Amino acid sequence: MTDLSLAQDGRARHWLLDAALGGIAALGAITLAHAARPEAPAPVRTAIPVSAPIPAQPEQPPVLIAFRDPVPGRVVVSPFGLRQLPWEEGGRLHAGVDIQADFGEAVRAAADGVVVEAGQSSTYGRYVALKHAEGLTSFYAHMGGVADHIRPGLALKAGDPVGKIGSSGTSTGPHLHFEIRDRRDRPLNPTLFLGREFAEADDLPLRKAQRFGRTVRVAHVSMIPKSKRALMQAKLEREEMAKAVRLAEKTGNAPAAVALDAASAARNAVAVERFEGLKVLPTSEDGRPRAQISS
């Protein structure tokens, strides 16, 4: 090896040594700088609250039909059963209940149903009939007016308006005559349905609701309908005739006792007017007087 080659080889080793020493020095400086730098704080983990699981709500059993009061807050003043009105000679079935209320109060559907009839008759006045589940029908009569939207085929929900309280037809004062009938058009006692829900057809009290006592209840009314005034007068005349006959049998003066003169007939006419104006005001549960109504 020549002197020149030895010199070049020595310079190469010297350069490699300097590079190695420089790398070691730089690495040491970086390490010292990193050691002198303050450590970054550890990240703060915030706990996320977990809400308590909502318990599953039990499923409500399905309801076949539910009945509400057609005039909320009002009471029945003439029940279902045998009843005799003042102009009648004997008792007959009162096929529904009478609910006392003021003129203009809303009458509402007692249950979900479909309007099958709406109109007016000489006896029931302005009325509406609704068909419900299991062939049941509810009937609303003596109303002052039928709601404008009511027409056959219209589906209604319980509580929807069907009309307003009035005294149309053969009525003795402002009230609602309310009936419930079965699929064979037999009248049922509404008090066994109102305010109750029925899940199945077997729950409906159909047999029990057909029953009624054999005692005839004599109705007290607040007025005699115009269509019944003649009947009322004729009844009063017959009652006076019966009294005269009993008096004749007792005194033996039959001709004088039985004859009803013009003055007696006039007294009967006055009696009708007096009866019509008579207000029977029994005390209600809240202590206020109310007129007892019959239809």
Predicted confidence (pLDDT) per residue in 48-76, tens digit: 666 667 777 767 778 999 999 999 999 99
- For the chain, residues classed under CATH 2.70.70.10 are 65-218
Per-residue pLDDT band for 268 (boundaries 50, 70, 90) equals low
Q: In terms of residues, how long is the chain?
A: 295
Q: Does residue 283 sit in helix, strand or coil?
A: strand
Higher local confidence (pLDDT), 247 or 252:
247
Q: Which of 49-53, 90-94, 146-150, 160-164 has the lowest mean pLDDT?
A: 49-53
Average per-residue pLDDT in the chain? 80
Q: Does domain 65-218 have CATH number 3.40.50.720?
A: no
Say yes or no to pLDDT of 17 above 50. Answer: no
Q: What is the pLDDT of residue 78?
A: 94
Average pLDDT over residues 23-51: 56
pLDDT band at 249 (very low <50, low <70, confident <90, very high): confident
Q: Is the pLDDT of residue 187 over 80?
A: yes
pLDDT at 286 over 50: no
Residue 1 has pLDDT above 70, yes or no: no
pLDDT of residue 104: 97
Contact 147, 194 (CB under 8 A): no
Hey, how many other C-beta atoms are within 10 angstroms of the C-beta on 267? Answer: 14
In one-letter notation, the amino acid at residue 101 is: A
Percentage of the chain with pLDDT > 70? 67
Q: With beta carbons less than 8 A apart as the criterion, state whether 224 and 173 touch.
A: no
pLDDT, tens digit, 9 for 90 and up, residues 199-245? 999 999 999 999 999 999 998 888 889 888 998 899 888 888 888 88
> Taking a C-beta distance cutoff of 8 angstroms, is the pair 192, 118 a contact?
no
Instruction: Give the pLDDT of residue 278.
Output: 42
pTM: 0.67
pLDDT at 27 over 50: no
Mean pLDDT confidence for 247-252: 80
User: What is the pLDDT confidence band of residue 271, given thresholds at 50, 70 and 90?
Assistant: low
Residue 213 near residue 80, CB atoms below 8 Å: no
